[in-house]
Every structure is written in C-alpha cells, then in structure tokens.
Chain A
Amino acid sequence: MNTPIALSIEDLSFSYGKKKALDRINFRIQPGECTLLLGPNGAGKSTLFSLITRLYDSRGGNIELCGFNIKRQTRKALAKLGVVFQQTTLDMDLSVMQNLRYHTALHGMGRKQSMLRIQEELERLNMFNRRFEKIRQLNGGHRRRVEIARALLHKPSLLLLDEPTVGLDVPSRQDIVDHVHRLAAEENMAVLWASHLIDEVYPDDHVIVLDKGRIKANGTVNEVLQLTGTSTIKDAFNKLTQGAQA
C-alpha cells in the first residue's frame, strides 16, 4: 500500500478583508521530506499555518493531511498533525510533565502510554531529568525542546514548525535544527518548517519560497539554485523576494 502524501495544498487562497494573504498556493510534502518554507515577514507563512491547523477557514482551495480533508475530516486530519507554534504555548506555572500530560490527555492517551511516550521523547532531547521543573525555570532553548517533544507525543505524520528558533542562541538553534532533520530522516516524518533564517536549510531539504502570498519557487535546494541562477540559497532567496528583508 502506498503511503499517502503527508500534506497536499491545492489552489489555496485567503484574504484579510480585501488584502490577499495567500494567492492560489499549490504544493505537496511527501513522508520523510523536510520542507523549509522561506519568506520575509508578512509573506503569508503564519496564515498558511493557521489554515493547515484549521484555526482559520478558507473558502478557496483544498488542504489534505495524510489523505484527510481538513474541512470534511477535521479530526482525522488533526490527529496526524504535530505543531510547534511561533509563540510559546506552554503553561509557565506547570511542570514539564504536567504540560506534556495535558497534551496526551487531549489526544486521548492513557496514563501508561503517556508516561512511556513522554519518557521516550524527553530522553531524545536530554530533558527527562528536568521533567518535574516548572516551565518558568527553563531557558528559551529548553522550552522549545519541550514543545517539540510535546508535538511528537502522539506520533504525528506531519510536523509543522512555525519559526521555532526565533530568539534562541546559536547552539540551541543548531540542536533543534539537527533534531528535526533527524526526525525526518529516521522516522520518515514529513516536516514543514517556516523560517526566515536561511542558514536553517540543509542541502537535502526541499525549499518553498513564499513572498506576498505567492509561491516564488518550490523544489530541492539544487532546483531552486538552478531556477534562480545563483550559487547560494541566500542569493536565491534575495533574488526571488527582490531583496526583501530576510
């Protein structure tokens, strides 16, 4: 049996009043593929994420997660999805464990299974021994690790990350970038990573460049370089977005 496409976006449009935020977007992400969604601020990345997670609703276009339509089969589609939002969504006054237990409860996991999965994911990120600490006591990098662990607890097929490394120091950023790329490679997980930081792109990644609500390029790093006739992804990005601030 073929594994279904992790994410399929067809002719997706969205407007804020008269202002078009997304204009007929089309792309697909296969399992095991790490796709970097690059775009300057205001390109439409967060709007796209809100539509994929069904926080917004669009009348134009179609979104499917692992073969499930987000409008008609919302719950089945959302069950396949793990999300790390741009802003931290952890409860500061609760411990790491309490935050993660909340998430497993929302996904209907029993106590035993929850504990097992929490241990697995926290150990992978070297956070298991800090499980009883309050989130408030953790630094930004560690909080992000907890959020990534949380997004993986229910074993999603597609992981969405909305600029997860913003505000982190270089080593913390690198840890997270490496970990997510490992997940795609080892667990066959599809990843859609929104970023405006060019250095987070790995040579094997797929890249989508979004600008003013339109896709300017979509392909492997090499394909994008060829398309733009540039030698670095930074130059390609600048050319495609006509020098918009990255």
Chain B
Amino acid sequence: MNILHYWRAMWGIIGRELRRFITQRERFISALVRPLIWLFVFAAGFRSALGIAISPPYETYILYEVYITPGLIGMIQLFNGMQSSLSMVYDREMGSMRILMVCPLPRWFLLLSKLLAGTAVSILQVYVFLGIAWLYEIRAPSWQGYVWVLPALMLSGMMLGALGLLLSSFIKQLENFAGVMNFVIFPMFFMSTALYPLWKIKESSALLYKLAHYNPFSQAVELIRFALYEQFNQPAFIYVLVAFIVFMIAAIIGYNPSKGMMTGKGGA
C-alpha cells in the first residue's frame, strides 16, 4: 500500500466518472438545459419585476441575469451532487458500488475520491454553462474571474457532493430518493440567495431571512458570486468549508459497515 496506489485509484475513479458523463449525453444536456431555462426565460421575465440594488461584490447596477448566474452555478452543483448520490444509491442497489467497497483502500478515501470525481463533472458543466452565458454577454468583469471561481467551485462542489453522499448513505432504496430530492433540493435552492439577495428576503420574512442566511447553499452561492468578481468572501468560505467537513464525516460514518447504512440494512 503506497502513495502511488492511492493516486492511481483516485484517478481511476475520477476517469471513470468523467467517461460515464461524456458517454451519457442526455445527462450532459439536461444538466445544462435546466439552468439555461432559468437564465434565459425566468431571469429575462423577472428582469423588470425585480430591482436589484447595489450590494457587494457589485459596484454598479446589474441585470437580474448577472445576479442569478452564481445561483444557477450553485444549482448545477446542487443537482450534480444529488445526481451523484442518486447514482450511488443505484450503484449500491445494482451492485457496482460493491466493487469499489471491496478494493483494498480505506473507505474514507474511496468516498472522497468519488466526491472529487462528482465535483470534476460539475465543474465541467459549470464552465460550459458560463461559456454559453458569455456568448449572451452575461459575463464576469474580466477573465480572471473565471480563474478565481475555480477553487470556489471545487469547495462548493465538494460540500454539496458530501451532502448528497450523506443522504445516499441513509437511503436504503432508490424509490425513497425522489422524496429526498424534493425535500432537499427545492428548499435549499429557494431558501437561498440564489434568486434574491438576503436583504430582499429580510423585507418579507425574518424567519425566511434566517433560514436563507444559515443555508449552506446560500454561502456556497455567495462564495462563487464574490469569486467571479475576483473577491474572496472569507465568512462564506469558512462556512462552506465547515459544512463540507461535517457532511463528509457524517457520510463516512454512514458508510462504515459497523456504524452506518450497512448495519441499517443488516444487523450485528
């Protein structure tokens, strides 16, 4: 057992996930269509209805499309994180997860590699989305923003992927997953700063404001928003990092044969 073994295994897992993603064209297209509809239909329609006042990182008035772009990037990663965990539940039911679990590497490492693989796929999707948005002149202020956003995407992708992993460790059957998708994705997305800024939410409901503020998805969106403007949002970074660590540890416990899902499925 050596570093090279870990390295090869990690790239094996990432490579497999990327190959699977490329071969499944429908998945690629549907992952893009969703945020593009939000961008070109929803945002265009609401452009006049929703006024966005100047707030950091924006230094001037911006179009609503510009405002929701980081939120839609978050949406891509949120869906991707859930999709990865959905595929893990599927893999577990179909058995291919077993091949991963019986290989001679620590389980935490295998889960982390799986997470990295899912994040790599989501980053690929995000850059294609940003490319299309750029063609329609919805752009970051400069090209550096597209570089700055990469580490932010890595962290937010890992955090959302770890959440999906955690959920998948407690879901015994594929059928149960649809409900969880509705109970996780929609509340997380709508109770966040993806579509409207916090101060706007505060105007309507103090409770909603608090929920949105403490929602890790909001923090991920803010991290991305600031990074696109070449700014580092430290509180959001810390919040997302801590959320990632908590979700990841819980997921590792969930996948431990003596503690988590296996005992749930089996016994002692």
B89 to chain A, nearest CB (A): 15
Q: How large is the interface on A (under 10, 10 to 19, 20 to 34, 35 or more residues)?
A: 35 or more
The answer, yes or no, to whether A85 is at the interface (CB within 8 Å) is: yes
State in angstroms the CA–CA spacing of A90 and B16 once bound together. Answer: 12
Q: Is the CB of A106 within 8 A of B12?
A: yes
- B residues within 8 A CB of A16? 266-267
Q: A14-B266, A55-B257, A56-B262 are in contact. Are A85 and B104 (CB under 8 A)?
A: no
Q: Is the CB of B106 within 8 A of A101?
A: no
B17 to chain A, nearest CB (A): 10
- A residues within 8 A CB of B11? 105
- A residues within 8 A CB of B41? none
Per-residue contact bits, chain A 79-114, to B (CB 8 Å; 1 contact, 0 not): 101010111111101100010011111111110000
- B104's partner among A21, A76, A91 (CB-CB below 8 A) is A76
Q: Is the CB of A89 within 8 A of B99?
A: yes
9 A-B pairs (CB sep. < 8 Å): A15-B268, A47-B266, A55-B262, A56-B257, A57-B268, A87-B94, A89-B94, A102-B16, A104-B12
The answer, yes or no, to whether B173 is at the interface (CB within 8 Å) is: no
B25 to chain A, nearest CB (A): 11
Per-residue contact bits, chain A 147-177, to B (CB 8 Å; 1 contact, 0 not): 0000000000000000000000000000000
User: Which residue of chain A is the closest to B256 with respect to CB atoms?
Assistant: A57
Q: Which residues of B from 3 to 62 have beta carbons under 8 Å from A?
A: 4-6, 8-9, 11-13, 15-16, 19-20, 23-24
The answer, yes or no, to whether B207 is at the interface (CB within 8 Å) is: no
Q: Is the CB of A89 within 8 A of B98?
A: yes
The answer, yes or no, to whether B238 is at the interface (CB within 8 Å) is: no
Q: A57-B257, A87-B94, A93-B24 are in contact. Are A78 and B8 (CB under 8 A)?
A: no
State in angstroms the CA–CA spacing of A106 and B98 once bound together. Answer: 12
Q: Is the CB of A14 within 8 A of B268?
A: yes
Q: A75-B106, A89-B96, A105-B11 are in contact. Are A55 and B101 (CB under 8 A)?
A: yes
User: Which residue of chain B is the closest to A78 with respect to CB atoms?
Assistant: B104
Q: How large is the interface on B (under 10, 10 to 19, 20 to 34, 35 or more residues)?
A: 35 or more
- A21's partner among B12, B20, B24, B267 (CB-CB below 8 A) is B267
User: Which residue of chain A is the closest to B262 with respect to CB atoms?
Assistant: A56
Q: Is the CB of B9 within 8 A of A108?
A: yes
Q: A78-B104, A105-B9, A106-B9 are in contact. Are A15 and B267 (CB under 8 A)?
A: yes
User: Which residue of chain B is the closest to A53 with respect to CB atoms?
Assistant: B102
The answer, yes or no, to whether A58 is at the interface (CB within 8 Å) is: yes
Q: Which residues of B from 85 to 105 have beta carbons under 8 Å from A?
A: 94-96, 98-105
Q: Which residues of B from 209 to 268 have beta carbons under 8 Å from A?
A: 257-258, 262-263, 265-268
- B103's partner among A57, A94, A107 (CB-CB below 8 A) is A107
The answer, yes or no, to whether B178 is at the interface (CB within 8 Å) is: no
Q: Is the CB of B98 within 8 A of A85?
A: yes
- A residues within 8 A CB of B2? 108
User: Which residue of chain B is the closest to A147 with respect to CB atoms?
Assistant: B99
State in angstroms the CA–CA spacing of A108 and B212 once bound together. Answer: 44
The answer, yes or no, to whether A203 is at the interface (CB within 8 Å) is: no
The answer, yes or no, to whether A72 is at the interface (CB within 8 Å) is: no
Q: Is the CB of A105 within 8 A of B20?
A: no
- A residues within 8 A CB of B20? 91, 93-94
- B12's partner among A53, A88, A105 (CB-CB below 8 A) is A105
Q: Which residues of A from 13 to 71 have beta carbons under 8 Å from B?
A: 14-17, 19, 21, 47, 50, 53-60
State in angstroms the CA–CA spacing of A98 and B9 once bound together. Answer: 14
State in angstroms the CA–CA spacing of A98 and B257 once bound together. Answer: 29
Q: A55-B101, A93-B23 are in contact. Are A101 and B95 (CB under 8 A)?
A: no
Q: Is the CB of A87 within 8 A of B95?
A: yes
Q: Is the CB of B104 within 8 A of A58?
A: no
User: Which residue of chain B is the closest to A76 with respect to CB atoms?
Assistant: B104
Q: Is the CB of B267 within 8 A of A14?
A: yes
The answer, yes or no, to whether B1 is at the interface (CB within 8 Å) is: yes
Interface centre among B24, B98, B99 (most CB of A within 10 A): B99
State in angstroms the CA–CA spacing of A78 and B98 once bound together. Answer: 12
- B residues within 8 A CB of A109? 8
- B residues within 8 A CB of A101? 12
State in angstroms the CA–CA spacing of A108 and B3 once bound together. Answer: 9
State in angstroms the CA–CA spacing of A104 and B106 once bound together. Answer: 16
Q: A16-B267, A57-B262, A108-B5 are in contact. Are A85 and B16 (CB under 8 A)?
A: no
State in angstroms the CA–CA spacing of A81 and B267 once bound together. Answer: 24
- List 4 A-B pairs, minimum CB-CB distance, nearest first: A105-B12, A108-B5, A87-B95, A57-B258
Given A19-B267, A89-B98, A102-B16; 15 other pairs, CB 8 A cutoff: A16-B267, A17-B267, A53-B98, A55-B257, A56-B262, A75-B105, A89-B99, A91-B16, A104-B12, A105-B8, A106-B103, A107-B5, A108-B4, A108-B6, A108-B8
